[in-house]
A and B are shown apart, each in its own frame.
Chain A
Amino acid sequence: METSDGRAREPRLRRRIDKVQLLGLVVLVLVVLFAFANKVGAQPGGGKGGGAAAAAAKLKPAEVKAAAAKPAGDAADAKAGDKPEAPADKGEAAGAPAEEAGGKHAGAGDEDPVEQLKSAVLVDPSKGGVPIHKEGGFRSPFASPNKPPVHARVGLLLETVEEFDIKKGAFTAHFYLSLTSDKPMPSKIDLKPTNGKIDEKDTLADLPTFKMWKVTGTFHVQPDLHAYPFDTQELDIELEDDSNGQDVVTLHPDVDHTFLDAGFNVPGWDTSFVRARILTHYYPDRFDNDDLYYSRFMFTLGVKRFATSAVFTVFVPALVIVLISLSGLWFPRSELEVRSNATTPMLAAAVLFHFALMQELPATAYLSRADKLMMAVYGCLFLHMVSSWIWFVFDESRTEVIFRWAKYICAPVTLVVMALAIVL
């Protein structure tokens, strides 16, 4: 880069700009690398399976400890992984992958497991020592072959959602939960969260065919930031009665009694949808003949970031940075300092802006839409800087040609790159 062509005026100018630009570039590249190393380094080890799910799983022993009198070791609870969707037979379901295998406190927690275990018989101690039920559809010792199956409808009225922290992947929800059935339900029926913990629970009704609770709980979600800042987040509330298998209670979502409260809103987000479904949940074998299915009620609130806010907080600043840098291309070589000052500080601004954006979000194993936009911004700024440096590579007689072609090439390329970054 250093020139030594002997001209009186040029060497001084070249040396100074060269150093400033080089130093600025090196520092900024280091900052960019540091920022991305920070982002990538913070990835959960197991990719998608970690993060909020792991955090949710960590909550369980504490929750169990608080709720159950049994030692935490006995009540080792874990969230099972990918769940079979009401599979036809057990063999098919057993092959399902699991995010986390582990014990579950079905019947071993605060519920009374004796009833179920009493009717189980130990057939062959050499085969694991777990008693089984010979009659009924399930061999599991937690099955209740003598109890009549009940179909219960689950209704949920979501009152408020607060403290939604996308970085932690957690939110607090206040809701009413109701269970209704045509036949009497088991007396010890209790829906417990599988992706969070209950902070407060008041029983409002406890009748054989109608039960209702007012619940406040903290729940964990895995944010999907692929489309950030135009992302839609799904806030899940997952509840399961782990003391009654599907042979006793089968849950059904109640569309007529699942609502958002009047005036419901999540600050900063637009309500997009509500979904309620039942997952016929099968746990990976915790013991021999662990073939009982459980009904898990899964309520999802879909919230969408306000598009106008997203445009003004992410896209407009990025475009302004690029446009200012682009304007530098119209300064000739005689105004090299002005030209370079239109680009290099913009790179600093872009890095800081990107860094500020990343601070609001959790680490992800992929690039969000905003990340891709910023990649395009860095690319355009780099291109603009190259259009100035290139003067020092070629002979001074080509100054005018380079000046003209830099405009002809860089301006359209910048527009195309930014358009693609916005659209894709």
Chain B
Amino acid sequence: MNYRAQSKRISVAALACAAALPLLGCHRSKEYEATVEVTRLSAARKDELGKATSTDVEVSYVDCPGTQTEVVRGGKEFSACVEKLKIGDKVKVKLDYHWDAEGHYTFDVLEIGGCARTPDPNDEASFKIIRECSDWSVNGAAVGFQCNYEDKSELTKACPWFKRR
């Protein structure tokens, strides 16, 4: 009787553990806000009237260590909205930090300087150059540089949305 009750308890505990296993793979999304500097604005496509239907906005994350740049492409409404921006403007961006199916965290720009943008999963034109560079020294002399794409400790401390894992 006692043995049976104990077995039951163990079975329940084992089942509960098994049910909780998927929680280990749970990855929370988060929204961040950052300040960026607009470094390039150019229309990628225009309609017959010369109005931009898609625009590239290149921004630099000025509050983050190193030179982190991102090119964001948006559609017609986004193009009309970003016309008000000028190169050198420092504006706020809203970022959606989420788990990517590729097995690491990533982020999408949802808004630049008040201009909303819906990330398109088929957009191959937007890209980021996120890296942390430092001198590469041999025998105490700087002979080059190394840019890390993975272990960006200084960068992720200041700007956590750059953390991949």
Q: Which residue of B lies closest to A309 (CB)?
A: B103
With A85-B138, A263-B124 known as contacts, the answer to whether A277 contacts B103 (CB < 8 A) is no
B126-165 contacts to A, CB under 8 A, are 127, 129, 131, 133, 136, 138-139, 141, 143-151
Contact A275 B143 (CB under 8 A): no
A304 touches which of B139, B141, B144, B150 (Cβ 8 Å)? B150
A253 touches which of B103, B124, B144, B148 (Cβ 8 Å)? B144
B145 touches which of A255, A259, A263, A271 (Cβ 8 Å)? A255
Contact A271 B149 (CB under 8 A): yes
Q: Does A274 contact B (CB under 8 A)?
A: yes
Contact A308 B103 (CB under 8 A): yes
Q: Does A276 contact B (CB under 8 A)?
A: yes
Q: Which residue of A lies closest to B144 (CB)?
A: A277
Contact B147 A272 (CB under 8 A): no
Interface size on A (CB < 8 Å)? Answer: 23
Bound-state CA distance A270–B151 (Å) is: 12
Chain B residues contacting A383 (CB-CB under 8 Å) are none
With A85-B141, A86-B143, A263-B127 known as contacts, the answer to whether A277 contacts B136 (CB < 8 A) is yes
Chain B residues contacting A271 (CB-CB under 8 Å) are 149-150
Nearest CB in chain A: distance from B27 CB, A: 13
A259 touches which of B129, B144, B148 (Cβ 8 Å)? B129
Q: Does A262 contact B (CB under 8 A)?
A: yes
Q: Which residue of A lies closest to B147 (CB)?
A: A274
Contact with B along A278-301 (1 / 0, CB 8 A): 110000000000000000001000
Residue from A258, A274, A279, A308 with most neighbouring chain B CB atoms (10 Å): A274
Bound-state CA distance A137–B131 (Å) is: 40
Offer 9 A-B interface pairs, CB within 8 angstroms, sorted by A. A85-B139, A86-B141, A259-B129, A263-B124, A263-B127, A272-B151, A274-B131, A277-B144, A279-B143
- Give me the interface of B with A, judged by CB distance under 8 Å: 71, 103, 124, 127, 129, 131, 133, 136, 138-139, 141, 143-151
